Amino acid sequence: MSEEARSKSVAPSALKPNIQPLSQSEVTFHILSTSFFTFLCYLSIGLPLAVLPGYVHVDLGYSSVMAGLAISVQYLATMLSRPRAGRIADSVGPKTSVLYGLMGCAASGAILIIAALFSAIPWLSLVILMLSRLVLGYAESLVGTGAITWGIGRVGAEHTARMISWNGIATYGALAVGAPLGVVIVHAWGLPWVGVAVVALGVIGYYLARRKPATAVIKGEHLPFRHVLRRVLPHGLGLALGSVGFGSIATFITLFYASHHWPNAAFALTLFGGFFVGARLLFASMIGRFGGFRVAVACFAVEALGLLLLGFSTASWVALSGAALTGFGFALVFPALGVEAVRTVPQHNRGSALGAYSLFLDLALGITGPLAGLIATAFGYPEVFLFAAMASLAGVALTVVLHRRSEQAMGNMSID
């Protein structure tokens, strides 16, 4: 019997977490140590991120639409598996969810090795590569949902914003490190060794996660996923609009740079991730001070400005500035709207709420790749980023509406 399964069978009095309040240092330790598994997962995602579009488009000879699909199919798998991941985190335990996900990361790396070895047969290599992306997408949903729920279970619901923020720091910090590192590995040893690195990360993460204590599963009636989805739908739509910018940069920044004959495309992803992490570190407390909706409006506006700068760039340093500003603006969209989304469900449905909310990130990233590929084919790569800027501006409008509705609802409650 697993550690989390045993925790469900003990007396209710033994399941009360954090009877003694945690010190600030203990809270920080639990948040960072749990977010580390997210870092390993997204480092596995980041390593092939900057090299796969070029591999599919140049080495295998497929179109830019297919190159975008090769990236986006991962997010499609993540989206479809979010309900399952949320249910595992709520009913079996978030530790188990993280362990399953890390095993999936290792498996995706092994499949990527096989895909690279069949590069002489383009169609077969592409099929195997797509399978690797599907497995990695499922692993992403398990680790992403499980790690946040695991961390909140350790530190308490009052630290939800911090847990989500640090999980995002781990996510985009890993992408910032992984993208250029993947390019270095490919140039030095070839694509198969990217797969080897991904396998190693999954195995190391699994070993470390096994040693970390589980949290008790909170008992209670679990809402059907469709009910949870309905409650977080407005917040999720805002997240989707904000995620189009990240999806556009992650999928097409390398080809955009190549079209201009600019070097160091992977550095744009590094700047995006670096400024994302910086904004999370410096301004995450703003959510508690000003509320999630107000912070989200400001973030959408900054993200739109960065995407416009990227779309109209005529030099590589301008494009780098746009990518950095986009990362800075996008940084707090997820936790700002996520805090508001989690408040709409009971505590024991927290994992499902996070899974349903995160589903919209996956949906946006899954659609962005092929759609942006069509836009790039018809108009050019700059228009991809201008399209993403329009999505961010739509996010401003939606969030303003949500904020006004929230204030009206609070006003009605105070009257009652």
pLDDT in tens, 324-349: 999 999 989 988 998 888 777 776 67
Residue 1's pLDDT is what? 42
What percent of the chain clears pLDDT 70, i.e. is strictly above it?
90
Helix, strand, coil % (nearest 5) of the chain? 85, 0, 15
**With contact defined as beta carbons under 8 Å apart, do 128 and 104 qualify?**
no
Residue 10's pLDDT is what? 39
Q: pLDDT tens digit string along 246-257?
A: 888 877 888 888
In one-letter notation, the amino acid at residue 203 is: V
Phi first, then psi, for residue 315 (nearest 5°) are -145, 155
Give the mean model confidence (pLDDT) for residues 309-314.
90
Split at pLDDT 50, 70, 90, the class of 38 is very high
Question: Which run of H or E residues covers position 140?
Answer: helix 122-155
Give the mean model confidence (pLDDT) for residues 294-315.
93
Supply the mean pLDDT for the chain. Answer: 84
Domain assignments of the chain as residue spans, ordered by start: 27-415
- Residue 23 CB burial class (10 angstroms; 0-12, 13-18, ≥19): exposed
Superfamily of domain 27-415: MFS general substrate transporter like domains (1.20.1250.20)
For the record, the structure tokens of 196 come out as 């080897």
Split at pLDDT 50, 70, 90, the class of 194 is very high
- For residues 382, 264, 48, 307, the Cα torsion angle rounded to the nearest 10 degrees is -30
Neighbours of 187 (CB within 10 A): 9
Helix (H, G, I), strand (E, B) or coil at 315: coil
Give the mean model confidence (pLDDT) for residues 152-167.
79
Distances (CA, A) of 227 to 8, 156, 282, 363: 25, 24, 35, 18
Residue 18's pLDDT is what? 44
- pLDDT beyond 60 at 83: yes
- For residues 251, 252, 254, 260, the Cα torsion angle rounded to the nearest 10 degrees is 180
